[in-house]
Amino acid sequence: MDQDGLVHQVEGRNGKVIGDTQLQKLGSDVTYGFGAFWATSRATKEGSGELERLDPKTGIQSGNPVKVGKRPHGVTAGDKVLWVANASSNNVMHIDPKAMAVVGRPVKVEDGPFGITANRTAVYVTQFGDGTEKNRGGGMVRIDPPIDPLDPESEANVFGVPVEVGDNAQSVTFGGPYVWAVGGFGALLRYDPKSNQELKTGVGDFGGMTSVVGDGKNVWVAGTKFGADRMQVARLDLETAKPIGKPAPIGPGGGGRIADLALSDGVLWASTGDTLYKLKP
């Protein structure tokens, strides 16, 4: 999805674009879950954003969009519900995918909640800040899901204090036994949710990172190469957090382009905003 809210439908076998869907508002993030694609979109001003459902075969929007908070960004599928991070509202909502309705009360998360990931036991959300020099966010917050995510009386709650990632914390994912998060200025956090141990480091010659994705055995990061107007992708060693082999170049940086990653059916996809790349994991 591009920043203008155009969602591209791509054939997984050959990487060809087979259809486009134009959202009603500016695009933010997209995820797959509960048999459909879900896209967050934000108003041109400071109005409420929306969560829209897209049919995975036709790409056509279905049902009425769900009104969420201001400047929604990250969206992810968790246990029974979808989770949306609303950056300007400073909260996180969970949505019933069948009823297409917000469940219960939003969870307050300060400093611009941005990226989000979830499993059955925890939700992790990054804090990007408000886009000013005074507030660059930089944390990762854990939310404990409700006992019954579909019960509006069963509340989600922030657990503990934020873990430091780095200024303008962006993407977050599960990878192997860890939670991984990246900051816009080259910071990487590897967090062990069982021991609470943290590893903070840079990654090779990355000058900044904007996306991280993972599965049960692997994790990948994408961002810009230090000192070069170029974007790249690297797979990381789970234990050392260092790149395995040489990063793969994916296109020029600058011009408002942001590297983004997605993992689907064993295929790693990388986007630079105007170009989509199919990579071998």
- For residue 127, what pLDDT is reported? 98
Summarised one tens digit per residue, pLDDT across range 95-109 is 999 999 999 999 999
Sign of the CA dihedral with 86 first, then 277, 176, and 103 last:
positive
- For residue 228, what pLDDT is reported? 82
Distance linking the first and last C-alpha atoms of the chain: 21
Q: Which domains does the chain have, with CATH numbers?
A: 1-164 (2.130.10.10), 165-281 (2.130.10.10)
Comparing CA positions, the residue from 102, 108, 67 lying closest to residue 90 is: 108
- For residue 258, what pLDDT is reported? 84
* Lowest pLDDT segment from 85-89, 157-161, 164-168, 257-261: 257-261
Sign of the CA dihedral with 87 first, then 37, 120, and 155 last:
positive
Q: Note every long-range contact of 85-93, with CB atoms under 8 Å and residues 24 or more positions apart, other chains counting.
A: 85/109, 85/113, 85/114, 85/115, 85/116, 85/125, 86/49, 86/113, 87/112, 87/113, 87/114, 87/128, 87/130, 88/46, 88/112, 88/130, 92/116, 92/123, 92/125, 92/143, 92/156, 93/68, 93/69
Bridging pattern class, strands 198-201 and 230-235: unpaired
Q: Report which of residues 255 and 153 the model is more confident about.
A: 153
Average pLDDT over residues 121-138: 93
Q: What is the largest CA-CA distance in the chain?
A: 51
CB atoms within 10 A of CB 35: 9
Residue recorded with tokens 């967050």: 40
Sign of the CA dihedral with 263 first, then 26, 136, and 160 last:
negative
Residue recorded with tokens 């990654």: 203
Which residue type, as a one-letter code, is found at position 216? G
Mean pLDDT of the chain: 87
Q: What is the DSSP string of 105-159?
A: EEEE--S-EEEEEE-SS-EEEEE---SSSS----EEEEEEPPSSTT-TTS--EEE
Q: Give residue 45's pLDDT band: very low, low, confident or very high (50, 70, 90).
A: low
3-state helix, strand, coil in the chain (%, to 5): 0, 55, 45
- For residue 59, what pLDDT is reported? 75
Summarised one tens digit per residue, pLDDT across range 107-121 is 999 999 999 999 999
Instruction: With residue 269 as reference, give the H or E element that holds it.
Output: strand 267-271
Residue 58 is given by DSSP the state T
Summarised one tens digit per residue, pLDDT across range 177-224 is 999 999 988 999 999 999 999 999 999 999 989 999 999 999 999 999
- State the pTM of this model: 0.89
- For residue 63, what pLDDT is reported? 87
Q: Give residue 275's pLDDT band: very low, low, confident or very high (50, 70, 90).
A: confident
Q: How far apart are CA 79 and CA 216, in angstroms?
A: 17
Above 90 in pLDDT, residue 280? Answer: no
Cα angle 3, 36, 175 (rounded to 5 degrees) comes to 75
